[in-house]
Amino acid sequence: MHSPEKIIIASRESQLAMWQAHFIQNRLLELYPQTEITILGMTTKGDQILDVSLSKIGGKGLFIKELEQALEDGRADIAVHSMKDVPMNMPPGFMLAAITEREDPCDAFVSNNYASLEELPAGSIVGTSSLRRESQVRARFPHLQVRPLRGNVQTRLRKLDEEEYSAIILAAAGLKRLELAYRIRSLLTPELSLPAVGQGALGIECREDRPELVQWLAPLHHAATAHCVEAERAMSRVLGGSCQVPLGGFAEISEDVLTLRGFVATPDGTKMIADKLHGKPEGRELIGQQLAQNLKSQGADEILAALEFHHD
């Protein structure tokens, strides 16, 4: 297989997105030292609208559309995304060419004065941008207040430092990638805060009519991570997963057994349906679909119907 002459990577311009693009660029340069690999930085709609919570302005696709347009136009060959930002159904003509090995999938508790959620006094304000985190905090710590928190990682940390919040919750992976792990006071175990579908993994997207890119990217693809993420996404797809739905999904593989955990909740955390399912990694799509059906039959369908009604 000949090495490519040139690869252009489309990326959002946030510091974290650029770190991710450079990470993929460096991995590719190790594989193909003769190849010219450049990054095309772009500002997406999700980066521009910062005063409204994601769930109110259209959700996951906001960070991706402009990047896909660059792939469509031939201005870029691949786009790098956080898997948790990738919509559950890829638009026609696009595909995920590779999913990288997962960084820490957990949520991180960040605070200047407290070591954990358990330590926060009643009435403390916790900042988070996601309904998933909000519903879990409200369910387990009803004495705390949860307020929206938008902006990039640095902006969120600044808002914490300016004492707008007692604590904030961020993805551990993003903090570690930006060398901000020292800000993490404690990691929230999946039992305490089940991660978002795909959290910690990167996805590399390309057009479906570029099979050569899939070959070139194959060494970056991490099968075990991909199997877990595919199970999570299969579950989320059946549940209509988007930023408007408080749901989490997390799969792990141990000794050739895939364990998938999932939950759906009301945004206020008063009702939460959680369950898990085991199976062979080869059956990952079915495991995801079956767990979603189990959650629905236990009452998740009522929560989803109410959310759907609320947004219509």
Q: What is the 3-state secondary structure (H, E, C) of the chain?
A: CCCCCEEEEEEECCHHHHHHHHHHHHHHHHHCCCCEEEEEEECCHHHHCCCCCHHHCCHHHHHCHHHHHHHHHCCCCEEEEEHHHCCCCCCCCEEEEEECCCCCCCEEEECCCCCCHHHCCCCCEEEECCHHHHHHHHHHCCCCEEEECCCCHHHHHHHHHCCCCCEEEEEHHHHHHCCCHHHCCEEECCCCCCCCCCCCCEEEEEECCCHHHHHHHHHHCCHHHHHHHHHHHHHHHHCCCCCCCCEEEEEEEECCEEEEEEEEECCCCCCEEEEEEEECHHHHHHHHHHHHHHHHHHHHHHHHHHHHHHHC
- pLDDT tens for 261-297 read 999 999 899 999 999 999 999 999 999 999 999 999 9
In the predicted model, is pLDDT for residue 312 greater than 50? no
- pLDDT tens for 168-184 read 999 999 999 999 999 99
Q: Specify the pLDDT at position 311.
A: 47
- pLDDT tens for 73-128 read 999 999 999 998 898 889 999 999 999 999 999 999 999 999 999 999 999 999 99
- pLDDT tens for 24-44 read 999 999 999 999 999 999 876
Active site residues: 85
Q: Specify the pLDDT at position 45.
A: 61
Quote the percentage of the chain above a pLDDT of 90: 80
Q: Specify the pLDDT at position 65.
A: 83
Complete domains list, the chain, with CATH? 6-102+201-221 (3.40.190.10), 107-188 (3.40.190.10), 232-311 (3.30.160.40)
Mean pLDDT of 150-166: 92
